[in-house]
């Protein structure tokens, strides 16, 4: 499973997005435990209920028992390619460290290879909580 395969999975997921309100379709694919989990944005007439592609993919991995993310790809049609929103970065940080490879794939083959740590430096995490595991 190369980064290219992960981008292909994210692009395939993007085609299944439900984005009638924004018209902005996003696909995501995460690699976890040797498998790939896809997600796409799913909007709602009550706009605030929208689920982003990245969080949908992470939830799919977690529900399958895989919490250790190894890589993520996000597909949009923008140039430069769209990065994950703040909420999605925080969700990724729950299940991956700063070295997590993040591939952003946009219009006409536009690519950005980055890491979670670059997109979300000094992330908040469980270690910052006074009481863990409660
Ligand atoms: N969106 C994502 O799916 N991922 C992001 O990280 C940024 C935003 C979606 C949410 C909404 O359906 C549309 O893009 C416009 O904000």
Q: Give a yes or no: residue 14 inside a domain.
A: yes
pLDDT at 132 over 80: no
Q: pTM for the whole thing? A: 0.95
Confidence at residue 130, expressed as pLDDT on a 0 to 100 scale: 87
The CATH number of whichever domain residue 55 belongs to comes to 3.40.140.10
Q: If you average pLDDT over residues 69-94, what whole number do you get?
A: 97
Instruction: Among 21, 23, 26, name the best residue to mutate to test ligand 1's pocket (greatest count of ligand atoms within 8 A of Cβ).
Output: 26
Nearest-CA residue for ligand 1 atom 9 is: 52
For 80, the domain range is: 3-123
Count of domains for the chain: 1
- Does the beta carbon of 53 sit less than 6 angstroms from any atom of ligand 1? yes
Q: Give a yes or no: residue 130 inside a domain.
A: no
Listed range (31-35, 87-91, 121-125, 130-134) with the worst mean pLDDT: 130-134
Confidence at residue 1, expressed as pLDDT on a 0 to 100 scale: 81
Confidence at residue 57, expressed as pLDDT on a 0 to 100 scale: 98
Q: Give a yes or no: residue 12 inside a domain.
A: yes
Confidence at residue 134, expressed as pLDDT on a 0 to 100 scale: 52
Nearest-CA residue for ligand 1 atom 1 is: 52
Q: Give a yes or no: residue 129 inside a domain.
A: no
Which helix (H) or strand (E) covers residue 89, if one does? helix 86-94
Q: Give a yes or no: residue 52 inside a domain.
A: yes
pLDDT at 133 over 80: no
86-94 helix and 53-63 helix, angle to the nearest 10 degrees: 20
pLDDT tens-digit profile of 17-49? 999 999 999 999 999 999 999 999 999 999 999
Q: If you average pLDDT over residues 70-94, what whole number do you get?
A: 97
Q: Give a yes or no: residue 31 inside a domain.
A: yes
- Does the beta carbon of 21 sit less than 6 angstroms from any atom of ligand 1? no
Q: Give a yes or no: residue 128 inside a domain.
A: no
Q: Which stretches within 15-80 are classed as H helix?
A: 53-63
For the chain, state the CA radius of gyration: 14
Q: Give a yes or no: residue 134 inside a domain.
A: no
Pairing between strand 69-75 and 111-115?
unpaired
């Amino acid at each position: 499973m190369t980064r290219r395969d992960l981008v292909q999975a994210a692009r395939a997921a993007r085609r299944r997005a439900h984005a009638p309100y924004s018209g902005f379709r996003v696909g995501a694919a995460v690699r976890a435990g040797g498998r790939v989990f896809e997600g796409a944005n799913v909007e709602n007439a009550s706009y605030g209920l929208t689920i982003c592609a990245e969080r949908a993919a992470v939830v799919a991995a977690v529900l399958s028992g895989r919490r250790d993310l190894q890589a993520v790809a996000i597909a949009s049609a923008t140039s430069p390619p769209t990065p994950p929103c703040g909420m999605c970065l925080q969700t990724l940080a729950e299940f991956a460290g700063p070295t997590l490879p993040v591939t952003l794939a946009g219009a006409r083959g536009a690519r950005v290879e980055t890491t979670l740590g670059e997109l979300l430096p000094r992330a908040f995490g469980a270690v910052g909580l006074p009481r863990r595991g409660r």
